[in-house]
Amino acid sequence: MNGEHLIGIVLNERYELKEIVGSGGMAVVYKAYDRLLNRTVAVKILKESLKNDAEIVEKFAAEGKAAASLSHNNIVSIYDVGQIDGLSFIVMEYVEGMTLKEYINENKPIKWQTACEIAIQIASALTHAHEHGIIHRDIKPHNILITKDNVVKVADFGIARAVSSDTMVAGGTALGSVHYISPEQARGGYVDNTSDLYSLGVVLYEMLTGNLPFDGDNAVSIALKKLEEDPVSPKVINLDIPQALDAIVMKAISKEQISRYKTAEEFANDLKSLLNEDSMHIITARPKDDDEDGVEYNPRSHGKKKKKTFNPIVASIVLFVIIAVTVFFVMRGGSREYIVPDLMNHTLEEALKIVEDTEFTIDEDGIVYEISEEYDEGKIMHQNPGANQSVKKNKKIQLTISSGATEGDIVVPDVREMDYEAAKELLESKNLKCQMVEEESAEYELNQVMSQSPKYGTKVTEGYTVILHVCTSVISDGEQVEVPNLYGSTRADAEAALTQRGLVLGNVKKEASDEEVGTVISQSPVSGTMADKNSTVDIVISDGENSQTMIPSESSSPSAPVSNKTTPPAQTTHVTAPPSETTQAPTQTEEIKRKTLTINIPDSADETVQVKVIANGKIIHNQAHSKSEGKIDIVVQSSKDAEVEVYMNDELVVRKLVEFD
């Protein structure tokens, strides 16, 4: 088959070639459809004229092997490498957008802040590659893609290879594009990480000026200029470039490897410092020696030192620049940018924790789930904006999460606006797990599911964890309503009455009582008080005389506990027992007597007091009362003397024997 005329062909019974989207010296790139994983991919196929060149075929295969070991948001992902019917091909991530070369041609010179942001993303990709022992060797704008979302992706590790003792360019021939390769590559010398940083410096130079540091009629003349001449300072071409940035570029494209940045991370950090306004120094400046007063370092003199002479014109210019830069920084004070956290290969739960203490949030409505053979199920495989980029604060991060190597067979149900317990039960019935993320809301009811991830309709495998954002705290809008009297109501009637007032049923308990079973015997806050709309009201329901005390029932929502503030000393509370009233016994064997106790609420008590009365070990009263009531009358019923205990806010204030003789 001819690698340059394959539209419509299906490679490996899987990749359907749709259209040609690019062509270079070695290969043709097709937009293709992956029938197995149902996604668009790019397929690079070695040109027919090169398939018999063993060295080229080896380099082409090396590209796939080198890049396939890398996983980074700013590097084009490699999915597959193979050969079929004499064709060598690489399947990779399809990136919609343009090359950096096209972007430069359309926008040159590029605004210096934008150029720095692009260079930072490229440096981030190189940091990852260098940490894995891989030198790109061919960094140039043609090999750098910019997506529609402004994510920069480095492609074409075509002549990259693992670092080893043999780092000399093969055969002594300079590989890569002559305008961007380092001087050591041009002369066939030792290549290391700083060679990539030189190329990145040239790319940054071109973005800032629209020109290349060296140009000529042919590759040889350009290579000689790199070895023999100094480049023109970018600031000479573009006066808008800050002096510090000019120095960064000149350091990156130093002839000597030892004078350049040592790592891509160091390069990126200086660019970030410039953008974040944390540093105003010239990066290449060196500290003066104690015995060399009056000597300065000139980055254009390759380390040579010369005596300073005072020049009033230069001094005036420097003063003007300092004032201008100061004003610039002050004016930009509100546009500070922040570094995007690295969420790659984390779960969503982990990502939510990572961004908690940052200026960023996860755009959970924008999460996409895709099948992936490279990433474990539930792991983040892409993020936008990319890790370590500089962006404005309060930026939302969009995520693509792996749904596993194959499509799951469980469809995630829609549990939005359901009660959390009901949503949990539904998910568990489908063999799914759930995790609650607590949220405040003025729009949702207590315990109501506000959002979910993955979205309903997503297919996942058994045991997948669905993240549920649940309203666990209702934010008041400032409006207050009067709490209704719930005494004697059933639970259902109490909840309906509260809903009608814009309140929410809170904690529900059952306690032994001689009141009708299932009816409300106390509430908090008490009736007649004012409460924030959407706040909770707790109730206690009678569980009958023979039940154990304080039996908790299912709680419809979390609720704040009753205040535990202590009341005034016991002597300030008085219990009096009026003469007894004898009534006919309900049975033939015993006579029930009643006495009314009057409990005085002291003026020094809280505005609301929880009063509990226990007679012979049984709770006969447990209700919140307003201090304004002044006193409370409690009826004690017994066939014999009763030991009575009175508690205020769970603090024992009176213990008294009530006699019925």
Active site residues: 138
Q: What are the structure tokens assigned to 206, written together?
A: 């071109």
Q: Residues near 402 by Cβ (< 8 Å), separated by ≥ 6?
A: 369, 370, 371, 372, 374, 375, 376, 377, 378, 379, 380, 381
Report how far residue 216's alpha carbon sits from residue 186's, in angstroms, rounded to the nearest whole number: 14
Q: How many CA atoms lie within 13 A of 134 on its CB side?
A: 26
Torsion angle of alpha carbons 637, 639, 644, 650, nearest 10°? -50
Report how far residue 635's alpha carbon sits from residue 625's, in angstroms, rounded to the nearest whole number: 16
644 neighbors 596 (Cβ within 8 angstroms): no
Q: How many CA atoms lie within 13 A of 54 on its CB side?
A: 0
Rounded to 10 deg, the angle between the 193-209 and 112-131 helix axes is 170
Rounded to 10 deg, the angle between the 264-275 and 243-252 helix axes is 170
Q: What are the structure tokens assigned to 208, written together?
A: 């800032």
Report how far residue 268's alpha carbon sits from residue 388's, in angstroms, rounded to the nearest whole number: 10
Q: Which long-range contacts (CB under 8 A, 24 or more apart) does 280-283 make?
A: 280/244, 280/325, 280/329, 281/244, 282/243, 282/244, 282/247, 283/244, 283/247, 283/248, 283/251
Cα of 495 vs its chain's centroid, Å: 38
Q: Residues near 514 by Cβ (< 8 Å), separated by ≥ 6?
A: 542, 545, 620, 637
| Whole-Å CA distances, 492 to 236, 496, 511 | 80, 6, 17
Cα 518–Cα 522–Cα 525 angle in degrees, nearest 5: 130
The neighbouring-strand residues paired with 610 are: 624
Cα 272–Cα 274–Cα 279 angle in degrees, nearest 5: 115
Residue 128, class by beta-carbon neighbours within 10 Å (0-12 exposed, 13-18 middle, 19+ buried)?
A: buried
Residue 179, SS3? coil
Q: Do β-strands 530-532 and 465-474 pair in parallel, antiparallel, or remain unpaired?
A: unpaired
39 neighbors 370 (Cβ within 8 angstroms): yes
User: Which residue shows structure tokens 């789930």?
Assistant: 369
Residue 42, SS3? strand
Report how far residue 191's alpha carbon sits from residue 182's, in angstroms, rounded to the nearest whole number: 9
Cα of 478 vs its chain's centroid, Å: 31
91 neighbors 78 (Cβ within 8 angstroms): yes
Report how far residue 201's alpha carbon sits from residue 224's, in angstroms, rounded to the nearest whole number: 18
Which of 624, 571, 579 is CA-nearest to residue 597?
A: 579
The residue count of the chain comes to 661
